[in-house]
Structure 1
Amino acid sequence: DWFHFVKLIIAKPYVKKYQQNSLDKLQFYTDEDQERPRQNLSDGESDTQIICGADVKGNYFCLKISLRHTLHAEVSIEYRSNEGKIYRLPNEPQVFLSSISSRHWKAAGLNIEVLQPFQRLRITYNGFMRCCSKNINEDIEGEVENVRFRFLWNSGSDPLRHPVDVNINLLTEAIARESWKDGDWIDMLGSNWGYEQYGALNGFFKSESSNEDEFLYLPSWRRRSIGLSEPQELKRDFFVFGVLKDGTVFSVGAKSIKSGCTQLRYGTVLTSSGHLHNLSASDIQLENLADNGDIPNAFSLHFQANGKVYKCVCHVNTYKISLSRSNSGWILKSTIAECDVNSDQARALLYFWYQNPGKSNLPENFFKILRFNRL
């Protein structure tokens, strides 16, 4: 309608200023500073990193580590082989909560070491994982095995920083779609910041039941988010990470912020020629995409980057849906899909995140308790 058009015009300069303010803050941080885990998290904040990888052969890998404001970390790891095996941490579907001595990317046997900021990471794990080769759900248990993996993550693109590098049209459209009840509507974009980057995972996965190492080379994407923790900030989050046969890689999604935009779309495309493009448009509608938690057998979405429109039809494997949950207040359903993207085929990881109100299992911050007792 006409008022929506007016809001787009009004919002654009404010969004530019919002992005510029974020850029000004980044000027004080070196690449090393930006890659380093945050040491000064406040109550309700977290520092979260997700790393995904997939290939057209049907191998998938995904890990998530979230450092909380207390000295605790939530860890989730999943590897799906093209033979149909699924490896997850033994405590799943309950996300592993680990005490940590300091805020590093290290918990529960997982270690992420920054060898060169925004260029190279070393990712290792040595511990137990549960292997399931049947249709997976929270009632089916597999055998627990000792597992080791070791990957080098090499960058394939420059990082795109949020909100600095996000296409301004996506941000203004997200704001214009909402009701403006007061003059603080720019705050609906949220205060979290971070980055995303494409690369490749190169290394091996070794389990007790396998006679030899599985050597993997997986096109990859990672996302970092710093600020309010997911259960504090979000109602929903969804993304699809896809790898096309021609070498193109993409990540497209949308999230709903509790006190902000209900449809904040995001995404990027890395072409087979190595060119990285932000999304300029997307038609993802969260309310029409598994909003009740039931993952559909198939769905389609359109997105645009660098003037090219992509039509992605996802044929979802609903028999291989993994469930993860945390007492801090969320549920994650993830699965895989075969996709038709324009005239090409792709393999994809699907990520459906939902808020799930519950009592946090995080203890009180030790220093907060100490201050209280001294009063």
Structure 2
Amino acid sequence: MGDSSQQLLDFLQNVALFACPLIAYVFLFKSRQKFRSCQGQYSIADWNFFLKKWWVRWKLRQPQLCHRPTTVGPVVELMATQADEDREKLRTLAKEKEVDSMAISGTDHKGNSIHLKITRKQHNITEVWLHVQLEDGSVYQLPGHPDTTIQSNNKSSWSGGGLKFHICEPLRRWRITFNGLLRHGVKHKGNIQDKENDVIVHVQFRFIWTACSDVIDIQRDWSTELMCNALAREPWRNGKWMKMRKQIGEGYDQWGTLQGTWTLGSDSNNVKELYLRGIRQRRYGTDEVVKKKE
């Protein structure tokens, strides 16, 4: 009887030695958490943050190893490969809310900037963003902006509203052209319906976008430690927590330069040469904007 009691006491002592530090840690963390405020959009780490972080790191280990890029980028390779061509191909929009978009931006030290974006959707629906600001402060947009939706045949090309993206070399060079009408000035919310005072001008521009960096995959080429920290801070209410990493979408970024001419009207004296530095972004997947509107 005495031996049994001693064994029970030893067992309880071992449990207490393990449980007391854990309980103290939880209470200390909870008491400190009351005095901490959430910084913007960032969630406050819970008491089991480090355990969740370890689990996330273990779950991400195999995907990171499996999808690690094995080919060098265009900065090193001179000739495009078949993998490069496959990556640049137009995506097949099989689902109702699936989209495929490309955005090209550039700016210089003088104040010239340009932002172009084409988003392909099903049923030949295309969203086109075109915003150009010159060093004198003048701004040019499509006449229908902020309504960016147009109807065009987008199954075989990046085009819409007079704006065209044409691939020259996969992941290396693109040709960007526009020939059409733009509105001079920004449309404010109070006068969206007022089109009588719009200043519509004819504009042509031609640019060559040239890559200056390798491709940066937005799912695979960012810090695993940063991903672990972000996922471990989120609440895990069900087994779908790993899908949160898909919220940033699929695609890639690439730095480059835009070089070409901007022509206002038909006067050859209004030709302006531009050399802009910026980024090209490719995104594809589900249109999250449509989801939020439902």
Output the TM-score relative to the length of structure 2.
0.72
Aligned to 1:97: 150
Structure 1 residue 122 and structure 2 residue 175: aligned? yes
Cα deviation for residue 175 of structure 1 reads 1.0
Quick one: structure 1 residues 39 and 202, their matched pair in 2 at CA, closer, same or farther if it must change by over 3 Å?
A: same
> Residue 75 of structure 1 is aligned with which of 128, 133, 136?
128
Larger Rg: 2
Cα deviation for residue 19 of structure 1 reads 3.6
Quick one: distance in 2 between partners of 1:209 and 1:36? 35
Quick one: distance in 2 between partners of 1:40 and 1:23? 26
Aligned to 1:11: 56
Aligned to 1:43: 96
Structure 2 gap ranges (5+): 1-45, 72-81
Structure 1 residue 203 and structure 2 residue 260: aligned? yes
Quick one: distance in 1 between partners of 2:132 and 2:121? 24
The amino acid across from 1:231 in the alignment is: V
Q: Are the aligned partners of 1:158 and 1:197 in contact in 2 as well (CA < 8 Å)?
A: yes
Q: Are the aligned partners of 1:38 and 1:103 in contact in 2 as well (CA < 8 Å)?
A: no
Runs of 4+ in 1 over 4 A off after TM superposition: 20-24
Structure 1 residue 107 and structure 2 residue 160: aligned? yes
Quick one: distance in 1 between partners of 2:252 and 2:128? 20
Aligned to 2:138: 85
- CA RMSD for the aligned pairs? 2.5
Aligned to 1:184: 240
Quick one: distance in 1 between partners of 2:123 and 2:229? 36
Q: Are the aligned partners of 1:44 and 1:229 in contact in 2 as well (CA < 8 Å)?
A: yes
More helix by share: 2
Quick one: distance in 1 between partners of 2:64 and 2:151? 35
Matches within 5 A, 1:233-312: none
Quick one: distance in 2 between partners of 1:77 and 1:23? 35
Aligned to 2:215: 159
> Residue 222 of structure 1 is aligned with which of 257, 280, 283?
280
Q: Are the aligned partners of 2:145 and 2:187 in contact in 1 as well (CA < 8 Å)?
A: no
Cα deviation for residue 67 of structure 1 reads 0.6
Q: Are the aligned partners of 2:56 and 2:231 in contact in 1 as well (CA < 8 Å)?
A: yes
Quick one: distance in 1 between partners of 2:154 and 2:105? 26
Aligned to 2:199: 143
The amino acid across from 1:198 in the alignment is: W
SS across alignment from 2:58: helix
Quick one: distance in 1 between partners of 2:187 and 2:152? 28
SS across alignment from 2:201: strand
The amino acid across from 1:72 in the alignment is: I
Larger RCO (CA under 8 A, 6+ residues apart):
2
Quick one: distance in 2 between partners of 1:53 and 1:114? 18
Q: Are the aligned partners of 1:76 and 1:96 in contact in 2 as well (CA < 8 Å)?
A: no
Output the TM-score relative to the length of structure 1.
0.57
> Residue 56 of structure 1 is aligned with which of 109, 128, 132?
109
Q: How many residues align?
A: 233
Quick one: distance in 1 between partners of 2:266 and 2:225? 50
Q: Are the aligned partners of 2:125 and 2:149 in contact in 1 as well (CA < 8 Å)?
A: no
Matched-pair identity in %: 32
Q: Are the aligned partners of 1:62 and 1:78 in contact in 2 as well (CA < 8 Å)?
A: yes
Q: Are the aligned partners of 2:139 and 2:184 in contact in 1 as well (CA < 8 Å)?
A: yes
1:80-139: per-residue Cα shift (whole Å, max 9, x none)? 00101100000011113222152321222111111111110000011111011xx75232
